[in-house]
Amino acid sequence: MHFLIPSRLVITISLGLFLGLVPSHALLNVDGTRNQFITFGSVTYAYNSNLFAEASGRGDDSITATAGLELKRAAGLIGVNAAFKIEYERFERYANENALKPNFSLELNKMNGRTTGALTVRAYRETLSDSAVNLRTSSWNLPLALNLKYPINDKFYATSETTYLQRRYTDTTTFRDLTDYAEGLDLFYVYTSKLDLLAGYRVRRSQTTAGHDTTDHWFNVGATGGLFAKLNGTLRLGYQIRQADSGQENFTHLNALAALGWPVTRKIRLDGQISRDFNTIATGASVDTSSINLRTAYAYSRKLGLFAGVTYGHNLFLGVTQAQRQDSFFSTDLGARYLFNEYLSVATGYTFLHNWSSLNFADFERRGLSLNFTGRF
């Protein structure tokens, strides 16, 4: 397997490590921890054996440099978390995939009063190897979310989640832009001091420039909190309907959404996620996506942490334009993170993915290695 680090990458990584080791302090800390400005940066070297997520398996080395500024304000009625970072990703062989990726986020939190909640706004550029279309995609994204919680009485409370996503691809000849709106309403019942039961409904409207516009309805029940002994998290089971505006392609399935955590010991933690949902991919088509993920983290010491994970999933491509395509995939990753001090950390990781597809072109393997240096000052 090719893993040759070019000399200029070694120099850049070494410079990033040197700068990270220099003692620094928060840029500005006003009024204790209630108002903070924090600078951060990172340098990552990576190797990806299959940059375009397809059978030909073209790989490349890359280096990514990131710098940013974060604001945290905990004073007053509304808490503020804001961050801006800019990331530059440079490839050794495929220079046309180089990308400058700005990322802005703003979160406003209301933690006091009868009605509480948060408003989040993000704007960012994303580039990735998309196994659903077997190409690298580049897009500008604007997601918005408003989450509210309202207590009805001692036993019942209600929540609302309103989301909006606008995704615009830089290659509009191959990919189709997406606009997505969703509204979710949940009613919770305080069953015990540790467990709440819930019933919910979500409607989601997806529109693409390909004209494949759909409306989803999701009815679900579940529980959140202490589910069993040390097992904590949220579990939902439901029934979902996707209706196309054309009236010719309507789909249904039983689905689940779960995020679970189990602190096995003081040093070992297990986490699991289960999901099944309808998604709209970069070509504007619909996919029935299922996945299960298990992760473990081991705190070997105060400075050294180890982690590993496995994921299995299945994608059923829906509609007459998808040639009855079905994919199954398995992925695993493992790595370690070491904290030199409160300012600098280093992490390394290995990933492996195998995608089995009914299309030969989409049947591929991918391996990756990464080395990351991160500093917060």
For tokens 């620094």, the residue is 24
- Structure confidence by residue, pLDDT tens digits, 60-84: 999 999 999 999 998 778 999 999 9
Closest alpha carbon to 101 in 64, 51, 134: 64
**In the numeric block, which tokens belong to residue 269?**
């933690």
Angstrom distance (rounded) from CA 48 to CA 309: 18
pLDDT bracket for residue 271 (50, 70, 90): very high
**What is the predicted pLDDT for the residue at 149?**
97
Residue 87 parent element (H or E): strand 78-91
**In the numeric block, which tokens belong to residue 282?**
């970069």
Predicted structure pTM score: 0.88
- Structure confidence by residue, pLDDT tens digits, 99-108: 999 999 999 9
Task: Mark residue 210 as left, alpha or beta (left: phi above 0; alpha: psi -120 to 50; beta: remaining).
Answer: alpha
pLDDT bracket for residue 16 (50, 70, 90): very low
Question: For residue 246, which amino acid is it?
Answer: S
**What is the predicted pLDDT for the residue at 322?**
66
Mean local confidence (pLDDT), 251-263: 95
pLDDT bracket for residue 229 (50, 70, 90): confident
**What is the predicted pLDDT for the residue at 14?**
46
Task: For the chain, give the mean pLDDT.
Answer: 91
For tokens 């990735």, the residue is 128
Per-domain residue ranges of the chain: 7-376
Q: Given a cut of 90, is residue 338 above it in pLDDT? A: yes
Residue 12 parent element (H or E): helix 7-21
**What is the predicted pLDDT for the residue at 34?**
75
DSSP tag of 11: H
Give the rounded percent of residues in the chain with a pLDDT score beyond 90: 81
> Mean pLDDT lowest for which of 126-130, 209-213, 322-326, 371-375?
322-326
**What is the predicted pLDDT for the residue at 19?**
44
Q: What are phi and psi of 15, to 5 degrees?
A: -65, -40
Q: CB atoms < 10 A from the CB of 161, how many?
A: 16
> Mean pLDDT lowest for which of 71-85, 172-186, 259-273, 293-307?
71-85
Closest alpha carbon to 81 in 103, 107, 111: 107
**What is the predicted pLDDT for the residue at 207?**
95
Give, in order, the Cα–Cα distances in Å from 325 to each of 90, 211, 280, 339. Answer: 33, 21, 15, 45
- Structure confidence by residue, pLDDT tens digits, 47-64: 999 999 999 989 999 999
Closest alpha carbon to 163 in 145, 142, 186: 145
Side-chain half-sphere CA neighbours of 355 within 13 A: 28
Query: What CATH class is the domain 7-376?
Result: mainly beta
Q: Given a cut of 80, is residue 189 above it in pLDDT? A: yes
**In the numeric block, which tokens belong to residue 359?**
């299309």
- Structure confidence by residue, pLDDT tens digits, 26-49: 455 555 567 889 999 999 999 999
Mean local confidence (pLDDT), 179-200: 97
**In the numeric block, which tokens belong to residue 252?**
């249904």
Cβ partners under 8 Å of residue 128, min gap 6:
136, 137
